A and B are shown apart, each in its own frame.
Chain A
Amino acid sequence: MLSPIVFSVLLIFVAIFFTYHAKKIRRNILIGKDIDLSDNKGERFKTMLKVAFGQSKMVVRPVPGIMHFFIYAAFVITQIELLEIVIDGISGGHRRIWRAIDGTALSGLYTFTINFIEIISVLAFVATITFLSRRNIIRLARFQKPEMKGWPTKDANLILCAEIFLITCIMMMNSADLELQARGETHKTAQFIISSNFQGIFSGMSTSAVHLFERIGWWGHIMGIFGFLVYLPISKHLHILLAFPNTYYSNLKLKGEFTTLEAVTDVVAPNFDPAYQPKTDPNNPVRFGAKDVHDLNWKNLLDAYTCTECGRCTSACPQNITGKKLSPRKIMMDTRDRLTEVGKNMDANGGTFVDDGKSLLGDYITTEEIWACNTCNACVQECPVNIDPLAIIVEMRRFLVMEQSQSPAELTNMFSNIENNGAPWQFSQSDRANWTNEN
């Protein structure tokens, strides 16, 4: 009776650990400024169903799209089998759900589900091998960019290897179990479509050895899942959870519409309308734009935690394609790294942030990157989980221009032309209609 205790202790430990980290991440995201996204619930829900659940933006690139769908489907559907594993683990039983429903109308459903899981797992296995080779053998360009050096590449490979481990374990468990069933050792299920093919491997072994393999498969699988949950908070794999809220809170406006800064309107509008009533609190002046994560809003920060580092954005970015430093993926990775650093700083200082002399803009993201952007929205269009790297870039430009009066000299010129002549070039506004008289 040792194993149910070990299992339960592990389960509780993993649950506590995961909740602890999930709370930290939530706190970190809420460091961001408030933004009201409580509108259009119906449309938001639909967007989430389509983009996160239905993976609509993944299939734009069919090969990785379909492969990813296999892994995603395997992940979702395996949770059903996981339910039985957890029940068995806590109770120290074996295939409890099956025993409960064997002989009833539901038994067909059980067999169908396990077979479905097995088929989808094989597809996921193929997909995982494909993904590993795309990253490590074919070495697809978008996985080799500078921001992927070191940990991000290891992170991706580690997850893919874990996936292979999980699938191997569940197959080993099922095929060893079938052999045990054949020997009358355990309760009989129906044949499983994939694992039955591997049953022969065990035919020459002693019953206790087969038992051992079945247990290794079982424990291996559940330990893999536990490990995954512990690992999740420090990895890019948070997207499997955060893709849902992140797409729910997608920007529903047209991509061309940039935010209007009310604090600026409060300064400008009285020049045109003396009766204008300010909308922001004058006693609580805000920083224009963003220098650090505190200046971004919580959706920007949720974006950062959701980023899966796939690099679709970067591979569509005109500036990155032409060799410039700007990479929208790096903008997101930097934002998350800085946010994690700020979170640790808060942990070390009793929950309040103590100035560490660093900031997102400057220590992570350079002005060279910020000024290269075409604001073309290609990155936003590409992102399979509706992340908006452009929003962060624009906030940083706002900070540089409005708080620091820092912009490339040509842009400063352009600004003063607009201010003085109403056009970005040095032409007089009174000459604006001259073209009507020219041939």
Chain B
Amino acid sequence: MSDKAIKVRTFAEMTAAGETPEILFWVGCSGSFDDRAKKITKAIVRILDHVGIKFAILGSEEGCSGDPAKRAGNEFLYQMQAMQNITTMNMYNVKKIVTGCPHCFNTLKNEYPALGGSYEVVHHTQLVQELINVGKLKVQGGEFKGKKIVFHDPCYLGRANSVYEAPREIIQKLDVELAEMKRSKANGLCCGAGGAQMFKESEKGTKEVSTERAEEALALEPDVIAVGCPFCNTMMTDGVKHFNKEDKTKVLDVAELIAKANDL
């Protein structure tokens, strides 16, 4: 990925300048604050920039989607967050949203409508697929050409929303060998982060879920474990480190693959 400086504007700034963004880029908490996830966020920005989509973020007006609170049983906190966000987005008359995280994607798309927030919500892999399909984004394999890549399905993109093909189609566009784990698509195994587990120690057991999943992926000896979720990214990175395989196998988001391969 190039070091070109990125320019991102907020809805507030664009509205003040009399402009109307086509799409809201919902960055999410991980994408905003986690150092590793910020790189994914920037890769998404570079793709959006490259194709010339007029997008904006909410910046400090964005709050947690409420997903971890809801999955952990705190419906009050979830609804507080959701209604705050909905108020903001309705004020800006948001129509379409792209998220960098399947958890935000799921919550905004499926759970906000019941609280008065109905938008067209897509996950970034779906947007990239759409851009490729309509010919706005041309991709080539670049440094990944001929490499072996295995895709780990995020639960909240896959099983939760039945999106299995978008990330795979994009990866295949890179002229790579797409390997599949035995537990994939509808039978995919969680990375261990979902259901607010990201924020707590696991219960007593024999193994970490992330270790179990990384072991399965590493058995295929891939050059890259591709993910579509910042939490999966953290977990799979931990898992790969557990087996001291970080030199051989990289954990990268699909957005990063596209941005790196095409020098965006």
Contact = CB atoms under 8 A, between A and B. Distances in A.
Interface of A: 60, 253-258, 260-261, 264-265, 267-269, 271-272, 288-289, 316, 318-319, 321-326, 368, 371-378, 380-381, 394, 396-402, 407-408, 410-411, 413-415, 418-419, 422-425, 427, 429-436, 438-439
Interface string B204-248: 111111011100000000000000000000000000000000000
A410 B209 contact: no
A29 B212 CA distance: 38
Contact of A322 (B7, B187, B196, B205): B205
Contacts of A397: 71-73
Nearest to B110: A257
Contacts of B194: 374-376
A418 B26 CA distance: 17
B133 interface: no
Contacts of B59: 432-433, 436
B142 interface: no
Given A319-B205, A372-B203, A411-B200, A401 B159 contact: no
A418 B203 contact: no
Given A316-B187, A319-B203, A433-B59, A374 B77 contact: no
Given A376-B155, A378-B190, A407-B73, 10 more contacts: A60-B187, A254-B160, A256-B156, A318-B212, A407-B72, A407-B74, A418-B63, A422-B64, A435-B32, A435-B33
Contact of B83 (A268, A288, A394): A268
A219 to B, nearest CB: 46
A224 to B, nearest CB: 37
Interface residues of B, number: 74
Contacts of B31: 435
Contact of A375 (B62, B83, B187, B195): B195
Nearest to B156: A256
B26 to A, nearest CB: 12
A322 B206 contact: yes
A424 B60 CA distance: 15
B159 to A, nearest CB: 5
A415 B32 contact: no
Contact of B69 (A254, A394, A415): A415
B203 A432 contact: no
B16 interface: no
Contacts, number: 225
Given A271-B83, A438-B38, A322 B209 contact: yes
Interface in B25-48: 27, 29, 31-33, 38, 41-42
Contacts of B209: 318-319, 321-322, 374
Contacts of B156: 256
A414 B188 CA distance: 27
A432 B199 contact: no
Contacts of B205: 319, 322-325
B64 A432 contact: no
Contacts of B167: none
A439 B77 CA distance: 33
Contacts of A324: 202-205
Contacts of B155: 374-378
A421 to B, nearest CB: 8
B189 A415 contact: no
A321 B203 contact: no
B81 A261 contact: no
B203 A257 contact: no
B99 interface: no
Given A260-B115, A402-B75, A424-B64, A436 B186 contact: no
A429 B80 contact: no
A6 B136 CA distance: 81
B85 to A, nearest CB: 9
B83 A272 contact: yes
Given A258-B111, A260-B111, A376-B195, A322 B207 contact: yes
Which 9 A-B residue pairs are closest in the complex by CB-CB distance?
A: A256-B160, A397-B73, A323-B206, A422-B63, A375-B195, A323-B205, A433-B59, A376-B190, A257-B110
Interface in B176-202: 186-190, 192-202
Contact of B111 (A257, A372, A375, A424): A257
Given A254-B162, A410-B199, A425-B33, A375 B79 contact: no
A68 to B, nearest CB: 19
A374 B190 contact: yes
23 contacts: A254-B160, A256-B110, A258-B111, A261-B75, A261-B79, A271-B83, A318-B192, A318-B213, A324-B204, A326-B203, A374-B195, A375-B195, A378-B189, A380-B159, A397-B71, A398-B73, A407-B72, A408-B201, A418-B81, A422-B81, A433-B57, A435-B31, A435-B33
